[in-house]
Amino acid sequence: MARIGVFICWCGENIARTVDVEKVTESAKRFPGVAYATNYKYMCSDPGQNLIREAIREHKLTGVVVAACSPHMHEQTFRNACALERLNPYLCEMANIREHCSWVHEDRDRATEKATDIIRTMVEKVKRNEPLYPIRVPVTKRALVIGGGIAGIQAALDIANAGIEVVLVEKAPSIGGHMAQLSETFPTLDCSQCILTPKMVEVARHPKIKLYHYSEVDTVEGYVGNFERKIRRKARSVIEEKCIRCGLCQEKCPVRKVPDEFNAGLGMRRAIYIPFPQAVPALPVLDRDHCLQFLKGKCGVCSKVCPTGAIDYGQQETIVSEKVGAIVLATGYQLYTIAKPQNESLYAGYGEYGYGTYPDVVDGLQFERLLSASGPTTGEVKRPSDGTVPKSIAFLTCIGSRDNAKGITFCSKICCMYLAKHAMLYKHKVHDGQAYVFYMDIRSDGKNYDEFVRRAVEEDGVVYFRGRVSKIFKRNGRLVLKGVDTLSASQVELEVDMVVLGAAIMPQPGVEKLAQKLGVPYDKYGFLSEAHPKLRPVETASAGVFLAGACQAPKDIPDAVGQAGCAASKVLGLLSADEIERLPTVAKVNENNCIACWACLEACPYGAIEKKEVRDRKGNLIKMVAEVNDALCQGCGTCVAVCRSNSVDLKGFTDEEIFAELNAL
């Protein structure tokens, strides 16, 4: 015998102004099965909740309908109140008469009728609700961090320092990411390597961090608290335990002309190489695509000179398996390719700047390498074309960014700052040089950022033009820029020795595939999506998977480190209990009816459905049926929709409950 309580909220004025709540209360009292109905100004307040609790006690209610705002707001509030009175929280539902009624209609009479209808449907539903209990799953107290740049490193350290073991996977031969390529960082002009390498070394030495360098994540299975990852460890051709880091192999390698990725293509490396002097691990890696031994079967010099026999041409890649409870994605960024041909048809390049045609037109990372003491010119600013010192350099902002016509609409956030930094560092190294910056707006919004840019203008004499450059071409051997200065409304023509382009910040290639494996959404550029742009910046739609750093959106180092700490705290929160509770509104298969066509299994976006064998007592196979993994299921209802034989139902939203709602209209 149903005894439903209906509680109608005025929501101050939000509902009561449009809906006649007294009239609705009187109607609700007469619904079949309703034992008690009342209204109150603010149901979500303490006295409001107490009203519900008292009514449950006094009237022995078997179910509760709160007619108020959206369940997104307060379903949890009212369910908690019911639970305190020993009424199963899933016997409490909300009827949305605010977002679905009072906020979208103006006619008072008709809105009142509609509110009455909505409440009637929810009363009919609640009469058929069943009590549900949370599902508890055990948690593996380990974490996985994908990406060994500054964000990944920081997240790994923060989690490991709390005593949780971290597996850190980095696809490059060394950790450090792009920060390791920078010369000095804004706004303090700290040497990037000097502040980064202590953290890199800490990661290598930390007893709670397991570093898989030169490795990639292969497959993912499982769900929050219980992920199983297969990690593919690529073959360096060097035996880690034997190598003594003497560097002889690199010194003697006859292949000298492989474009160096660490130097952004400006310098050359050997076929066997240590990525950079401060690399962690400082192990050499053999690039099989350029090694004579692998291409032609003859050389073997590195193996001959190695004093410990650490070179192993036969080394194979291996697959290791790791069980973790939470994952942090910190895959970082890459620069937009400026030249005309683009990999993605979504973007268009700039042919007019001569990038790729003139060697003296470079991008931001390439200029960093020229400035860096460990770079191809040992820190002297020299033109890539002829090695002379440039006496004038132009720095162009917004190359790719903020340009609808080129397919990228966002601002890359860091370029205004790093181009000001480049201009200042150039002036510090070449005292009689002249630096020009062409800008659209200056975005220097961090702490001490604006002062930094002002320093470039006032102390280092950098000339700022507010305008864009339309074309760069060569005339008598010099680079000529044609641009505009909108503040003085004049055209600008400059002859410079070098140009640095501030290219847009894009996500790493291949991150879409990784995101698909993890069930994390991403936007059209490939930036991974956070669960809520303001309130949940590090969580994703996939429970147990978090984000840190530039993979989510372009950001500078302070923000990346901050976000990494935030992700670490979420991971620590998740892993702090031995068990986590999952919502019980999951799907359930009726095994009598299931005909094992696997439509649900294929359609489930979370891979939550498995094949199950039904056997008799003697062990003979009778039939196969589908089975839902409670812990993986997110209650989306896709399986319910695709099942032709109507054999799957969603707890908390069963066919009967929904049908009762429809019938009540």
Which residue ranges make up the site for other proteins (CB under 8 A)?
A: 592-603, 624, 642, 644-646, 655-656, 659-660
CB of 597 to other proteins, least distance (A): 4
Query: Which DSSP letter does residue 420 get?
Result: H
CB of 600 to other proteins, least distance (A): 8
Strand order through the sheet with 142-146: 209-212, 165-169, 142-146, 326-329, 545-547
CB of 452 to other proteins, least distance (A): 44
Q: Which is nearer to other proteins, 461 or 605 (CB)?
A: 605
Q: Which is nearer to other proteins, 301 or 643 (CB)?
A: 643
Q: Which is nearer to other proteins, 479 or 511 (CB)?
A: 511
Per the rule left: phi > 0, alpha: psi between -120 and 50, beta: everything else, 640 is alpha
Supply 510's token pair. Answer: 């291949």
Q: Which is nearer to other proteins, 255 or 599 (CB)?
A: 599
Q: What is the C-alpha separation between 600 and 638, in angstroms, rounded?
A: 8
Supply 19's token pair. Answer: 């809906």
Q: Which is nearer to other proteins, 610 or 655 (CB)?
A: 655
Q: Which is nearer to other proteins, 133 or 659 (CB)?
A: 659
Q: Which is nearer to other proteins, 326 or 601 (CB)?
A: 601
CB of 596 to other proteins, least distance (A): 6
CB of 61 to other proteins, least distance (A): 25
CB of 519 to other proteins, least distance (A): 12
Q: Which is nearer to other proteins, 128 or 455 (CB)?
A: 128
Three state DSSP letters for 148-171: CCHHHHHHHHHHHHCCCEEEEECC
Supply 394's token pair. Answer: 């132009």
**Given the DSSP bridges, would you call strands 285-286 and 333-335 parallel, antiparallel or unpaired?**
unpaired
Given a contact cutoff of 8 angstroms between Cβ atoms, the answer to whether 530 and 545 are in contact is no
Q: What is the C-alpha separation between 430 and 444, in angstroms, rounded?
A: 25
Q: Which is nearer to other proteins, 502 or 519 (CB)?
A: 519
Q: How many CA atoms lie within 13 A of 530 on its CB side?
A: 19
Closest CA to 151 of 547, 554, 533, 571: 547
Burial of 1 (C-beta count, 10 Å sphere; 0-12/13-18/19+): exposed
**SS3 state of residue 460:** coil
CB of 603 to other proteins, least distance (A): 4
Q: What is the C-alpha separation between 295 and 273, in angstroms, rounded?
A: 17
Amino acid at 71: P
CA distances from 518 to 59, 272, 328, 474 (A): 48, 34, 11, 49
CB of 65 to other proteins, least distance (A): 20
Q: What is the C-alpha separation between 302 and 70, in angstroms, rounded?
A: 68
Q: What is the C-alpha separation between 489 and 340, in angstroms, rounded?
A: 30
Q: Which is nearer to other proteins, 345 or 592 (CB)?
A: 592
Q: Which is nearer to other proteins, 580 or 601 (CB)?
A: 601
CB of 598 to other proteins, least distance (A): 6
Closest CA to 224 of 608, 660, 624, 501: 608
CA distances from 507 to 490, 515, 526, 549 (A): 37, 12, 6, 11
Amino acid at 383: R
CB of 593 to other proteins, least distance (A): 5
CA 658 to centroid of chain Cα atoms: 36
Q: Which is nearer to other proteins, 431 or 644 (CB)?
A: 644
CB of 86 to other proteins, least distance (A): 29
Supply 533's token pair. Answer: 């742009």
CB of 594 to other proteins, least distance (A): 8
Q: Which is nearer to other proteins, 409 or 645 (CB)?
A: 645
Supply 503's token pair. Answer: 């290219």
Closest CA to 250 of 277, 278, 275, 270: 270
Q: Which is nearer to other proteins, 445 or 610 (CB)?
A: 610
Q: Which is nearer to other proteins, 340 or 517 (CB)?
A: 517
Q: Which is nearer to other proteins, 107 or 655 (CB)?
A: 655
User: Could you report how far apart the first and last alpha carbons of the chain are, in Å?
Assistant: 22
Q: How many CA atoms lie within 13 A of 43 on its CB side?
A: 33
Q: What is the C-alpha separation between 122 and 110, in angstroms, rounded?
A: 19
CB of 232 to other proteins, least distance (A): 23
Q: Per-residue DSSP letters for 548-598?
A: -GGGTS---HHHHHHHHHHHHHHHHHHTTSSEEEE-S--EEE-TTT-----
